[in-house]
Each structure stands twice: as C-alpha cells, then as structure tokens.
Structure 1
C-alpha cells in the first residue's frame, strides 16, 4: 500500500487530496461515498481484496476526506469537474471504476461513456439525505446551508448536528447493519473526518441535496440504462427503504441483476467486503 496526495486546482485555488494505491495489474479507480464521515479509507477493505487482480487507486473527493478543506460553496459542477480530471489525467481509461453512494451517481452522469471499461456501483444514490426524507428539495434548504456557512453560528450548528451521538445514530440507522461495527478502533477515524477543518462546507451541501448528481430519479435510471451490461450493482439487504427502492429501479432500468448482501446497509463495502469483492470480480 502506498499513501500519497493529489493536487487539483479549481478557480485558481490548489487543493490537496488523499490518495491510496494498492496492488498491480489493470487499473481500478475506487471512489468513496460523499458523506460527512466518508474518505478513501472506507474503500480499504475492498481494495485489499481487489489488489491481487488490479492496481487500485482510491481518491478522496474535494471538500471531503481527512485533510483540511477550504471554505467554498461546493457544487455539482465542482464534483463533476473533479471526476472528469480523474478520468482524463490521474486514472485514464481504467478497466474498472468502483463508486459508492453519490459517487456512483456522478459516474453515471459522466458524459464520456468510453472513459472507463466497467463500473461497479455500491449502494448507488442520486439524492441527499434531507431531500430523500422530504421527497423534495424545498427552498429553505438553502437557508440551512447559509447558516452552516456562517463564521460564528455555523461551526456550532455543524458540531451540534454531527456530535458523537448523532454520528453513531446516523451510522446505525443508515450505514451499518451491525450496531457494533463502529467499535473503538473505527469510531475515532470517522470522528476525525467530520472534525477536519473546513468539513462543514461540503457536508451540509451533501446533506441538503446541493451535491445531488441528478435532479430526478428518471434521469438517474436512464443513465444506468445507457451503461447496461457494463454495470455491476451491489447493495445491502437492510438498506433504508427509499434508497433501496431507487436502487432496485436502477437495476431494472439497466437490465442488471444486482447482488444484495445480507447483513449490510449503505456501507456494504465496509461491512461485507468479501461479498462485495466477489460480486465485482465475478460481475
């Protein structure tokens, strides 16, 4: 395993992002989910299992990860531009892209269908937590983002909504089927992600839907249908109902039989890496 950093410029500002390489062979680009506790490290167990067949490259998203992040009103266009940079300059024409959560949505939305050979989508999503819960994106979500951006009240609001009890409740409710998965050896790393300088700016935009890669489910499904047999789909059997329904509709549209892993939720690649790797390697 080799740890490194990747420098990327946006609007004249240089960002430094974490990058991890493992293995040898055809290139596999591993894209973690966009969430308040996600980094490339969540792909580690899966990368270990893919490394005998692939050279794996796991990269943090701008605004996320475990390094300090600048104040910025992160947007869908920013994330799409970063993915385009990865596929053109950092990991050109990978044999495989593994993308979790919203990263899967961005991969489906990428306009160049020839930029990669095959895609494995892990619990693919297109809509953030609050819009999913509300079944819409009301205008007042912009006021939530503005409040969290604010210099004084923003850090307090963010800390309140991503306190230790809240992170545990969120992880148990949506991400991990095993309540004990975030054991003492794992929980501090997740806290470090949420507590990293500048974490609140991208986090609040993910939660409120400002980073959603699609405006509606129909477009999400159409993008999946365009890739068809080049897709492998994996999610946990205990994934929350609304998200699970969207994933099932995507599989139907793409004409793909998904692998549904027992004893897992959205974090299936962390909680059940053996089953996830098997589905990808046999896909």
Structure 2
C-alpha cells in the first residue's frame, strides 16, 4: 500500500485543498482511493455519508472552517466520488478494512474524526481500536434505505443482483439517477430548503452518478449491504464501548427534520451516557445544507 507523491497528483481540487490518491490492496486487488488535504495543524479526518451522490465535496464548507486550525483530510469512499469504482463485492467488512488501513497509512492518530450518515457507524467501529480521539457524528445513521423501509433482506439481495446485470442493472440504475428522481429524493430526505435544488445543482449531482462502474456501490448502500451495524443493539453497544474510554469524546449533531426511522436511531444514540448532543434544523444532508453551522460546532469540539 503506497501513497502517490503529491507533486504528481496535485490538481484543482473540489474542496480547495491538495488532491492525492491512496493505492489500497485488499484481497489481492489494488484500487485507488481519492482524498484531499487542506490546512495545517493536528489532523482531523472527514468521512462523507454514503449515498448515490456521495462525495467528499459535500463536506467542503466544514473542511474550510476546520482548515483554519487543523490539517483536514477528507476521503471519497471506494465506489463513490472520485475514488475507483470496481465491480467488486461491496460490503461492511470491506469498508471497515479500508478505513483502518487508510488511517494507519494516511492519517495516523487523528486528533478528531467527523463522520456523516453511515460514516458515523464506521467511525465508531474504528474508535474502538484508537487510543484516543474526538468524534463528531453528524446526522448519524446505520440503516440503509431498504432496511429503513422495512424491506426483507432477500429483496435487497435480489435487487443487488439485478443491478449487477449489464443491461437490466444499467436500466434500473438509470431510473434511480434520473434528474427528476434525484430531485425527489433530495426533497424527501436530504435538504429542507427546496430552493437549493436548482436544475444546475441537480445536473451537477447527476454527473457524479454517471462515471463508469458507478452503480455497484450505491446499490450496495441502498440494499443494506453497507450498513455498519446489524441492528440497534449493536449500534448502541459499540457506541457505549467507545464512550467508556475516558480519552474519547463523542458529540452527535441531530437532524431535527430527518425521516422518522433515521431520527429515532440518532435520538437513541444521543441519549447514551457520555454523548454530548447538538440540534440543527435540516434532514439527512444537514452536513452540506448547514455546513457553516456544523463547521462551527466541529471547530469548538476539536479544539476542546
């Protein structure tokens, strides 16, 4: 596993920093992970939420606030954003291994980790093995869309298999990334202010979904294969174990207008002893829609 020399990879970035690539080998296959660094000081790692349009650029406003005092590193998960999108088996164990190796090789002993959405569950898993760190979990979730809808596991498996097929899968994915569908999803679950959903904004997001191999990882997310926890019991048990470490500080930002299923899981997490909680308006995309407000909370949390 190697890190490409910055001088070979620096290019105009999507967050205002320096774009680099991490070449990660997993089960004999080497893939490329895009990440970006900006600012100077102790390291804070930013983990985006999973979604069809997932990209580190959604955390740009937060990163720019933190870069005034910290070195910020933001990655694109494998299969999302600017990272490679191979036709592999996307599952929880893959992302747990990726995050562990990425931290070890690219940002050892981060002073803090900010994780959004499903990224929060992976951050909690990682924190169990860290000596000390500060976590900020933004609109944290562990249930993928199908699981949140109460769909049986066999349906998710069948849908993943269908999306993997060359013709049928491309058609299904195309329907789910049509501009009208993307706008509907943003209105329903992601943003509160519909005025932000201009045709230009939706087209920019759709372009993220049209890269070669783009359908595989989002299909795994939607069908619960990337859920970082199996159930609420695991969600709370791991969080409890993390907060038991006196050297670890955990803060949760609740999305007041999140969908009921997701909000219930956020609320259950925030009620654990040792977890500090902030409330912000917004839904599952509050880390972007309210980036300045999240950035201010993050700066105070990581400076404490």
Common fold: TM-score over 0.5: yes
Q: 2:262 corresponds to which residue?
A: 243
Q: 2:41 corresponds to which residue?
A: 25
Matches within 5 A, 1:36-55: 36-55=52-71
Q: Where in structure 1 are there 5+ consecutive unaligned residues?
A: none
Q: Is the 8 A contact 1:232 1:280 kept in 2?
A: no
Whole-Å Cα distance in 2 between the matches of residues 61 and 230 of structure 1?
Answer: 24
SS at match of 2:37: strand
Determine whether 1:56 maps to 2:75. no
* Greater than 4 Å deviation, 4+ residue runs: none
Whole-Å Cα distance in 2 between the matches of residues 122 and 269 of structure 1?
Answer: 7
Deviation at 1:67, TM superposition (A): 4.6
Deviations 1:165-214 (A, max 9, x none): 11111111111111122334533331122111111111111001011111
Q: 2:185 corresponds to which residue?
A: 170
Q: Is the 8 A contact 1:225 1:253 kept in 2?
A: yes
Q: Where in structure 2 are there 5+ consecutive unaligned residues?
A: 1-16
Q: 2:240 corresponds to which residue?
A: 225
Matches within 5 A, 1:31-110: 31-110=47-126
Q: Is the 8 A contact 1:224 1:254 kept in 2?
A: no
Range that drifts further, 176-185 or 164-173? 176-185
Deviations 1:134-160 (A, max 9, x none): 1x5431221111000011111011101
Deviations 1:23-71 (A, max 9, x none): 1100001010111111111111110011111100000111111355111
Q: 2:298 corresponds to which residue?
A: 280
Whole-Å Cα distance in 2 between the matches of residues 7 and 22 of structure 1?
Answer: 20
The partner residue of 2:215 within 194, 200, 214 is 200
TM-score w.r.t. length of structure 2: 0.88
TM-score w.r.t. length of structure 1: 0.94
Q: 1:182 to 1:79 in 2, by over 3 A?
A: same
Q: 2:26 corresponds to which residue?
A: 10
Q: 1:223 to 1:91 in 2, by over 3 A?
A: same
Deviation at 1:243, TM superposition (A): 0.5
Aligned residues: 281
Q: Is the 8 A contact 2:137 2:252 kept in 1?
A: yes
- Please tell me the root mean square deviation across aligned C-alpha atoms, in Å: 1.6
Q: 1:149 corresponds to which residue?
A: 164
Whole-Å Cα distance in 2 between the matches of residues 182 and 158 of structure 1?
Answer: 21
Range that drifts further, 84-93 or 62-71? 62-71
Q: 1:68 to 1:156 in 2, by over 3 A?
A: farther
Deviation at 1:116, TM superposition (A): 5.0
Q: Is the 8 A contact 1:68 1:197 kept in 2?
A: no
Whole-Å Cα distance in 2 between the matches of residues 162 and 109 of structure 1?
Answer: 31
Whole-Å Cα distance in 2 between the matches of residues 37 and 19 of structure 1?
Answer: 16
Deviations 1:74-98 (A, max 9, x none): 1111111101111211111100101
Whole-Å Cα distance in 1 between the matches of residues 82 and 40 of structure 2?
Answer: 25
Q: 2:154 corresponds to which residue?
A: 139
